[in-house]
């Protein structure tokens, strides 16, 4: 089950500004029902360029509904120029955060707002997914992937999936995603703007270490395993040795050795570079 904030739950159950403005001054549409997420944003704008009303229609999950709802509240009363500065990070922050795997919903809100503003200004609305299709399952292009990588400082393929859904279906595009990611990281390095999240060098107590391992398992590891019908349990932590148990489909998977290496890499990335992971039968 996703760990939603109270604000997300509130706006999912009681969304604000649902519907469509009659004779709107601006319209922004992104996504598609075929790919699982779609959003239509309509705006009413006064003669001074201030947004006086905003409504949305969305097809998607709780995060999509909550993100769309909070977006309308954020932009009503703002000028077009002020609204244009809103990012997907701002949307997520207003919700008190989103599960990492649902960040694509905040991106969809930002893109719908951008499309609406361009529509109001009479500018050409380029398709958000113009470019070469990389993920055929969700129709995500290289153009969109590159943009999201740079704007959100993404550092691994799982994050690309969380922010764009690319790679979240059959997974056949993950090698291409890795290639694009390396190219974009290289660009950031050349610009001197790369911000790498490294494990803290501060010595942790055993309780702190266990809590951090549990957090990474819950947020970064378990959701990916569940996509394939598997799961993972933390059994014990003894110094730098971490003992885990695979359940579900992972328990009988012939690729368990590969999976445990991936789990170890994740824990080394976010907790400590010295951790060693072993499977408990």
How does pLDDT run across 130-142, given as a tens digit for each residue?
678 888 878 888 9
Domains in the chain, CATH or no CATH each? 6-121 (3.90.1010.10), 133-191 (1.10.10.1100), 206-279 (3.30.300.130)
Nearest CA among 52, 47, 43, 51 for reference residue 20: 43
The confidence score (pLDDT) of residue 34 equals 58
* Residue of 61, 105, 173, 250 marked active site: 105
Nearest CA among 269, 228, 270, 263 for reference residue 279: 263
pLDDT < 50 regions, the chain: 1, 128, 193-198, 200-201
CB burial of 47-80 (b: ≥16 within 10 Å; e: otherwise) equals: eeebbebbbbebebbbbbbbbbbbbbebbbebeb
The confidence score (pLDDT) of residue 196 equals 47
The confidence score (pLDDT) of residue 207 equals 82
105 is catalytic: yes
Size of the chain in residues = 281
35 is catalytic: yes
The confidence score (pLDDT) of residue 53 equals 97
28 contact partners, CB below 8 Å, separation of at least 6: 39, 40, 41, 42, 43, 111, 112, 113, 114, 115, 116, 117, 118, 119
* Residue of 35, 61, 137, 253 marked active site: 35
pLDDT, tens only, 53-77: 999 999 888 899 999 999 999 999 9
């Amino acid at each position: 089950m996703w760990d939603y904030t109270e604000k997300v739950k509130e706006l999912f159950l009681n969304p604000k500004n649902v519907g469509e403005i009659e004779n709107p001054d601006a319209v922004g549409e992104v996504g598609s029902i075929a790919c699982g997420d779609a959003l239509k944003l309509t705006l009413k704008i006064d003669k001074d360029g201030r947004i006086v009303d905003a409504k949305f229609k969305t097809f998607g999950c709780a995060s999509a509904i909550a993100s769309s709802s909070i977006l309308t509240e954020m932009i009503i009363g703002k000028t077009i120029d002020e609204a244009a500065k809103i990012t997907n990070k701002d949307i997520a922050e207003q919700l008190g955060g989103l599960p990492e795997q649902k960040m694509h919903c905040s991106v969809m809100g930002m893109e719908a707002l951008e499309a609406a503003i361009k529509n109001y200004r009479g500018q050409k609305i380029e398709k958000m997914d113009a470019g070469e299709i990389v993920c055929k399952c969700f129709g995500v292009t290289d153009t969109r992937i590159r943009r999201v990588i740079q704007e959100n400082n993404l550092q691994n393929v799982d994050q690309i999936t969380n922010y764009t859904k690319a790679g979240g279906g059959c997974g056949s595009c993950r090698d291409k995603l890795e290639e694009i990611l390396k190219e974009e990281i290289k660009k950031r390095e050349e610009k001197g703007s790369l911000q790498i999240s490294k494990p803290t060098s501060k010595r942790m107590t055993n309780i702190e270490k266990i809590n951090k391992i549990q957090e990474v398992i819950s947020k970064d590891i378990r959701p990916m395993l569940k996509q394939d019908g598997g799961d993972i349990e933390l059994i014990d932590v003894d110094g730098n040795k971490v003992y885990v148990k695979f359940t579900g489909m992972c328990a009988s998977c012939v690729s368990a050795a590969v999976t445990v290496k991936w789990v170890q890499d994740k824990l080394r990335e976010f907790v400590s570079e010295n951790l060693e992971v072993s499977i408990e039968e």
